[in-house]
Protein backbone atom coordinates (compact mmCIF):
# COMPACT_ATOMS: atom_id res chain seq x y z
CA UNK A 1 0.00 0.00 0.00
CA UNK A 2 1.47 3.38 -1.01
CA UNK A 3 2.02 6.31 1.32
CA UNK A 4 -0.53 8.23 -0.72
CA UNK A 5 -3.09 5.48 -0.24
CA UNK A 6 -2.54 5.50 3.52
CA UNK A 7 -3.21 9.22 3.66
CA UNK A 8 -6.38 8.66 1.74
CA UNK A 9 -7.54 6.09 4.26
CA UNK A 10 -6.83 8.39 7.19
CA UNK A 11 -8.78 11.29 5.75
CA UNK A 12 -11.72 12.10 8.08
CA UNK A 13 -15.08 11.08 6.68
CA UNK A 14 -17.36 13.84 5.46
CA UNK A 15 -20.25 14.68 7.81
CA UNK A 16 -23.30 12.58 7.16
CA UNK A 17 -26.32 14.27 5.60
CA UNK A 18 -28.25 13.61 8.81
CA UNK A 19 -25.69 15.67 10.75
CA UNK A 20 -26.23 18.61 8.41
CA UNK A 21 -30.00 18.29 8.84
CA UNK A 22 -29.60 18.23 12.63
CA UNK A 23 -27.33 21.30 12.58
CA UNK A 24 -29.83 23.16 10.40
CA UNK A 25 -32.72 22.25 12.72
CA UNK A 26 -30.79 23.34 15.82
CA UNK A 27 -29.99 26.64 14.12
CA UNK A 28 -33.63 27.12 13.15
CA UNK A 29 -34.80 26.47 16.71
CA UNK A 30 -32.30 28.93 18.16
CA UNK A 31 -33.24 31.57 15.60
CA UNK A 32 -36.96 31.07 16.24
CA UNK A 33 -36.57 31.17 20.02
CA UNK A 34 -34.54 34.37 19.73
CA UNK A 35 -37.28 35.89 17.58
CA UNK A 36 -39.98 34.91 20.08
CA UNK A 37 -38.05 36.72 22.78
CA UNK A 38 -37.56 39.79 20.61
CA UNK A 39 -33.78 39.55 20.91
CA UNK A 40 -31.40 40.68 18.20
CA UNK A 41 -28.41 38.49 17.44
CA UNK A 42 -26.21 41.14 19.01
CA UNK A 43 -28.21 41.04 22.24
CA UNK A 44 -28.01 37.26 22.36
CA UNK A 45 -24.26 37.44 21.75
CA UNK A 46 -23.85 39.85 24.66
CA UNK A 47 -26.03 37.76 26.99
CA UNK A 48 -24.44 34.42 26.08
CA UNK A 49 -20.86 35.63 25.52
CA UNK A 50 -20.86 33.80 22.20
CA UNK A 51 -19.57 35.90 19.29
CA UNK A 52 -22.21 37.37 17.01
CA UNK A 53 -20.41 35.93 13.99
CA UNK A 54 -20.44 32.42 15.46
CA UNK A 55 -24.12 32.76 16.36
CA UNK A 56 -24.86 33.66 12.74
CA UNK A 57 -23.08 30.48 11.63
CA UNK A 58 -24.98 28.35 14.16
CA UNK A 59 -28.34 29.81 13.14
CA UNK A 60 -27.49 29.17 9.50
CA UNK A 61 -26.78 25.51 10.32
CA UNK A 62 -23.09 25.91 9.48
CA UNK A 63 -21.66 25.81 13.00
CA UNK A 64 -20.89 22.82 15.18
CA UNK A 65 -21.51 24.22 18.67
CA UNK A 66 -20.37 22.37 21.76
CA UNK A 67 -22.76 21.52 24.58
CA UNK A 68 -21.18 24.34 26.59
CA UNK A 69 -21.97 26.87 23.85
CA UNK A 70 -25.55 25.61 23.51
CA UNK A 71 -25.94 25.82 27.29
CA UNK A 72 -24.76 29.44 27.27
CA UNK A 73 -27.20 30.31 24.48
CA UNK A 74 -30.06 28.54 26.26
CA UNK A 75 -29.38 30.26 29.58
CA UNK A 76 -29.25 33.65 27.87
CA UNK A 77 -32.80 33.01 26.67
CA UNK A 78 -33.91 31.42 29.96
CA UNK A 79 -34.48 28.10 28.27
CA UNK A 80 -33.02 24.61 28.17
CA UNK A 81 -30.60 23.00 25.76
CA UNK A 82 -33.25 20.32 25.27
CA UNK A 83 -35.40 22.89 23.44
CA UNK A 84 -32.77 22.96 20.67
CA UNK A 85 -32.57 19.20 20.15
CA UNK A 86 -35.32 17.80 17.90
CA UNK A 87 -35.34 14.37 19.55
CA UNK A 88 -35.84 15.95 22.97
CA UNK A 89 -38.41 18.54 21.98
CA UNK A 90 -41.40 16.42 22.92
CA UNK A 91 -41.61 18.06 26.33
CA UNK A 92 -42.00 16.66 29.85
CA UNK A 93 -42.51 12.94 30.43
CA UNK A 94 -46.13 13.52 31.49
CA UNK A 95 -46.84 15.19 28.17
CA UNK A 96 -45.07 12.36 26.39
CA UNK A 97 -47.35 9.89 28.14
CA UNK A 98 -50.41 11.81 26.99
CA UNK A 99 -49.11 11.85 23.43
CA UNK A 100 -48.52 8.10 23.60
CA UNK A 101 -52.10 7.62 24.80
CA UNK A 102 -53.42 9.63 21.88
CA UNK A 103 -51.99 7.07 19.49
CA UNK A 104 -54.62 4.65 20.82
CA UNK A 105 -57.46 7.01 19.95
CA UNK A 106 -59.17 6.66 16.58
CA UNK A 107 -58.74 9.63 14.25
CA UNK A 108 -62.52 10.04 14.07
CA UNK A 109 -62.65 10.50 17.84
CA UNK A 110 -59.92 13.17 18.09
CA UNK A 111 -62.25 16.16 17.45
CA UNK A 112 -64.53 15.05 20.29
CA UNK A 113 -61.54 14.58 22.59
CA UNK A 114 -60.32 18.05 21.66
CA UNK A 115 -63.71 19.53 22.58
CA UNK A 116 -63.62 17.80 25.97
CA UNK A 117 -60.18 19.24 26.68
CA UNK A 118 -61.33 22.73 25.68
CA UNK A 119 -64.40 22.43 27.92
CA UNK A 120 -62.24 21.32 30.85
CA UNK A 121 -59.86 24.24 30.35
CA UNK A 122 -62.72 26.72 30.03
CA UNK A 123 -64.42 25.52 33.20
CA UNK A 124 -61.10 25.64 35.04
CA UNK A 125 -60.19 29.14 33.96
CA UNK A 126 -63.40 31.11 33.36
CA UNK A 127 -64.10 32.08 36.97
CA UNK A 128 -60.58 33.45 37.43
CA UNK A 129 -60.49 36.30 34.91
CA UNK A 130 -62.79 38.84 36.54
CA UNK A 131 -63.18 42.01 34.49
CA UNK A 132 -59.51 42.19 33.56
CA UNK A 133 -58.64 42.93 29.92
CA UNK A 134 -55.05 42.36 28.75
CA UNK A 135 -53.73 43.55 25.41
CA UNK A 136 -50.90 41.61 23.79
CA UNK A 137 -48.98 42.16 20.57
CA UNK A 138 -45.85 43.72 19.13
CA UNK A 139 -45.12 47.43 19.61
CA UNK A 140 -46.86 49.70 17.16
CA UNK A 141 -50.22 47.90 17.11
CA UNK A 142 -51.86 50.46 19.42
CA UNK A 143 -51.95 48.69 22.79
CA UNK A 144 -51.15 51.80 24.84
CA UNK A 145 -53.26 54.40 23.04
CA UNK A 146 -56.27 52.12 22.58
CA UNK A 147 -55.88 50.56 26.02
CA UNK A 148 -56.09 53.93 27.73
CA UNK A 149 -59.27 54.80 25.83
CA UNK A 150 -60.76 51.39 26.64
CA UNK A 151 -60.08 51.90 30.35
CA UNK A 152 -61.99 55.19 30.24
CA UNK A 153 -64.87 53.43 28.48
CA UNK A 154 -64.95 50.71 31.15
CA UNK A 155 -64.34 53.15 34.03
CA UNK A 156 -61.38 51.18 35.33
CA UNK A 157 -57.61 51.71 35.75
CA UNK A 158 -55.20 51.42 32.81
CA UNK A 159 -51.78 49.95 33.58
CA UNK A 160 -48.74 49.32 31.39
CA UNK A 161 -46.54 46.47 32.60
CA UNK A 162 -43.40 48.20 31.25
CA UNK A 163 -44.09 51.26 33.39
CA UNK A 164 -44.87 49.11 36.41
CA UNK A 165 -41.50 47.39 35.95
CA UNK A 166 -39.73 50.75 35.70
CA UNK A 167 -41.40 51.96 38.88
CA UNK A 168 -40.47 48.76 40.71
CA UNK A 169 -36.89 48.71 39.41
CA UNK A 170 -36.29 52.44 39.70
CA UNK A 171 -34.96 52.94 36.16
CA UNK A 172 -35.98 52.45 32.54
CA UNK A 173 -36.61 49.04 31.00
CA UNK A 174 -33.70 49.58 28.61
CA UNK A 175 -31.40 50.24 31.57
CA UNK A 176 -32.67 47.14 33.37
CA UNK A 177 -32.01 44.97 30.31
CA UNK A 178 -28.62 46.56 29.69
CA UNK A 179 -27.50 46.14 33.31
CA UNK A 180 -29.06 42.79 34.22
CA UNK A 181 -30.22 41.15 31.01
CA UNK A 182 -33.55 40.22 29.47
CA UNK A 183 -34.03 37.46 32.04
CA UNK A 184 -34.13 39.99 34.86
CA UNK A 185 -36.74 42.01 32.98
CA UNK A 186 -38.91 38.91 32.55
CA UNK A 187 -38.75 38.24 36.31
CA UNK A 188 -39.82 41.82 37.10
CA UNK A 189 -42.55 41.50 34.46
CA UNK A 190 -43.96 38.37 36.11
CA UNK A 191 -43.86 39.93 39.59
CA UNK A 192 -45.59 43.11 38.42
CA UNK A 193 -48.28 41.16 36.57
CA UNK A 194 -49.00 39.14 39.70
CA UNK A 195 -49.33 42.36 41.71
CA UNK A 196 -51.72 43.93 39.19
CA UNK A 197 -53.93 40.83 39.15
CA UNK A 198 -53.97 40.64 42.95
CA UNK A 199 -54.91 44.32 43.35
CA UNK A 200 -57.42 44.81 40.54
CA UNK A 201 -60.56 42.88 39.72
CA UNK A 202 -61.31 45.32 36.90
CA UNK A 203 -58.40 46.74 34.87
CA UNK A 204 -57.03 47.17 31.35
CA UNK A 205 -53.43 45.97 31.02
CA UNK A 206 -51.02 46.73 28.19
CA UNK A 207 -48.31 44.08 28.17
CA UNK A 208 -44.82 44.05 26.69
CA UNK A 209 -44.68 42.40 23.27
CA UNK A 210 -42.43 39.59 24.46
CA UNK A 211 -44.59 38.47 27.37
CA UNK A 212 -45.49 35.39 25.32
CA UNK A 213 -41.84 34.25 25.39
CA UNK A 214 -42.19 33.12 29.00
CA UNK A 215 -44.64 30.22 28.98
CA UNK A 216 -45.51 30.46 32.69
CA UNK A 217 -46.11 34.21 32.64
CA UNK A 218 -48.24 34.00 29.50
CA UNK A 219 -50.21 31.09 30.96
CA UNK A 220 -50.91 33.25 34.01
CA UNK A 221 -52.11 36.07 31.76
CA UNK A 222 -54.41 33.75 29.78
CA UNK A 223 -55.77 32.22 32.97
CA UNK A 224 -56.43 35.40 34.92
CA UNK A 225 -57.38 37.96 32.23
CA UNK A 226 -59.39 38.25 29.02
CA UNK A 227 -56.61 38.51 26.45
CA UNK A 228 -57.01 40.46 23.19
CA UNK A 229 -54.35 40.34 20.48
CA UNK A 230 -53.90 43.82 19.00
CA UNK A 231 -52.02 43.46 15.74
CA UNK A 232 -51.12 45.16 12.46
CA UNK A 233 -49.21 44.44 9.27
CA UNK A 234 -45.38 44.51 9.63
CA UNK A 235 -44.96 47.74 7.65
CA UNK A 236 -47.58 49.44 9.83
CA UNK A 237 -45.82 48.30 13.00
CA UNK A 238 -42.53 49.64 11.71
CA UNK A 239 -43.99 52.98 10.61
CA UNK A 240 -45.63 53.57 13.99
CA UNK A 241 -42.52 52.57 15.95
CA UNK A 242 -40.38 54.93 13.86
CA UNK A 243 -42.88 57.73 14.43
CA UNK A 244 -42.49 57.12 18.18
CA UNK A 245 -38.71 57.34 17.86
CA UNK A 246 -38.38 53.99 19.63
CA UNK A 247 -36.30 51.29 17.94
CA UNK A 248 -36.06 48.76 20.84
CA UNK A 249 -35.15 45.94 20.48
CA UNK A 250 -33.92 46.63 16.95
CA UNK A 251 -31.51 49.46 17.78
CA UNK A 252 -28.44 49.61 15.53
CA UNK A 253 -29.80 46.73 13.48
CA UNK A 254 -29.83 47.24 9.71
CA UNK A 255 -32.19 44.31 9.28
CA UNK A 256 -34.94 45.77 11.45
CA UNK A 257 -37.82 44.82 9.15
CA UNK A 258 -36.53 41.27 8.73
CA UNK A 259 -36.24 40.96 12.51
CA UNK A 260 -39.74 42.34 13.01
CA UNK A 261 -41.23 39.86 10.54
CA UNK A 262 -39.36 37.02 12.25
CA UNK A 263 -40.70 38.13 15.63
CA UNK A 264 -44.27 38.32 14.34
CA UNK A 265 -44.00 34.89 12.71
CA UNK A 266 -42.41 33.27 15.76
CA UNK A 267 -44.99 34.70 18.18
CA UNK A 268 -48.10 34.37 16.02
CA UNK A 269 -49.04 30.98 17.46
CA UNK A 270 -48.79 32.31 21.02
CA UNK A 271 -50.67 35.53 20.30
CA UNK A 272 -53.39 33.46 18.62
CA UNK A 273 -54.21 31.87 22.00
CA UNK A 274 -55.94 35.14 22.92
CA UNK A 275 -59.72 35.09 23.24
CA UNK A 276 -60.09 37.73 20.53
CA UNK A 277 -58.01 39.82 18.15
CA UNK A 278 -58.16 43.26 16.56
CA UNK A 279 -56.26 44.26 13.42
CA UNK A 280 -55.59 48.00 13.58
CA UNK A 281 -53.68 48.26 10.28
CA UNK A 282 -56.31 50.38 8.54
CA UNK A 283 -58.01 51.90 11.58
CA UNK A 284 -57.70 55.34 13.08
CA UNK A 285 -57.62 55.85 16.83
CA UNK A 286 -61.36 56.51 17.18
CA UNK A 287 -62.40 53.57 15.01
CA UNK A 288 -59.89 51.26 16.69
CA UNK A 289 -61.07 52.30 20.15
CA UNK A 290 -64.70 51.70 19.19
CA UNK A 291 -64.01 48.20 17.87
CA UNK A 292 -61.85 47.32 20.86
CA UNK A 293 -64.59 48.45 23.23
CA UNK A 294 -67.09 46.23 21.39
CA UNK A 295 -64.78 43.22 21.72
CA UNK A 296 -64.19 43.92 25.42
CA UNK A 297 -67.90 44.25 26.16
CA UNK A 298 -68.55 40.91 24.46
CA UNK A 299 -65.82 39.19 26.50
CA UNK A 300 -67.04 40.73 29.76
CA UNK A 301 -70.75 40.09 29.16
CA UNK A 302 -70.75 36.64 30.86
CA UNK A 303 -69.01 38.18 33.89
CA UNK A 304 -71.74 40.81 34.26
CA UNK A 305 -74.53 38.19 34.37
Q: What is the pLDDT of residues 188-218, one digit of tens each?
A: 999 999 999 999 999 999 999 889 988 889 9
Domains 14-88 and 128-304 in one fold: no
Q: Which of 2-6, 37-41, 136-140, 295-299 has the highest mean pLDDT?
A: 295-299
Highest mean pLDDT among 42-56, 112-126, 149-163, 177-191: 149-163
Whether 74 and 85 have beta carbons less than 8 Å apart is answered as: no
Max intra-chain CA distance, the chain: 91
The pLDDT assigned to 4 comes to 43
* CATH homologous superfamily, domain 128-304: P-loop containing nucleotide triphosphate hydrolases (3.40.50.300)
pLDDT over 50 (residue 9): no
User: Residue 133's pLDDT is what?
Assistant: 96
Please determine, for residue 3, whether its predicted confidence score (pLDDT) is greater than 50. Answer: no
Per-residue pLDDT tens over the stretch 222-254: 999 999 999 988 888 788 777 776 555 444 555
- What residue ranges do the domains of the chain occupy? 14-88, 128-304
Per-residue pLDDT at 42: 87
pLDDT of residue 31: 87
Size of the chain in residues: 305
CA end-to-end span of the chain, whole Å? 91
- Would you say 282 and 235 are in contact if contact means Cβ atoms under 8 Å apart? no
Task: State pTM to two decimals.
Answer: 0.65
Say if residue 86's pLDDT is above 90. Answer: no
Nearest 5°: the CA angle 99, 104, 110 is: 75
- Does residue 111 have a pLDDT over 90? no
**Who has greater pLDDT, 252 or 69?**
69
Between these two residues, 191 and 182, which has the higher pLDDT value? 191
Mean pLDDT of the residues in the chain: 81
Q: Is 231 helix (H, G, I), strand (E, B) or coil?
A: strand
* Lowest mean pLDDT across 36-40, 117-121, 289-293: 117-121
Q: What is the mean pLDDT of residues 168-196?
A: 89
Is 177's pLDDT higher than 70? yes
Pairing verdict, β 158-160 and 202-206: parallel
Q: Round to whole Å and give the CA distance between 88 and 191.
A: 30
pLDDT on residue 136: 95
The model's confidence at residue 102, banded by pLDDT at 50, 70 and 90, is: low
Q: What is the pLDDT of residue 5?
A: 42
- pLDDT of 165 strictly over 50: yes
The CATH class, in words, for 14-88 is mainly alpha
φ/ψ (deg, to 5) at 208: -75, 150
Amino acid sequence: MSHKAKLRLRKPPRPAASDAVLAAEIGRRIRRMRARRGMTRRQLAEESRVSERYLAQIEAGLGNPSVTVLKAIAEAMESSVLEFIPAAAGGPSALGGIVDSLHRVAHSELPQLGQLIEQWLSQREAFDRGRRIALVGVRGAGKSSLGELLARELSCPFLEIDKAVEEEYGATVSTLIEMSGIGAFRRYERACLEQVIARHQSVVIATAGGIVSNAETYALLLRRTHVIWVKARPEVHMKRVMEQGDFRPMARNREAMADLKAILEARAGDYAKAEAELDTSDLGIAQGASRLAGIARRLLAPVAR
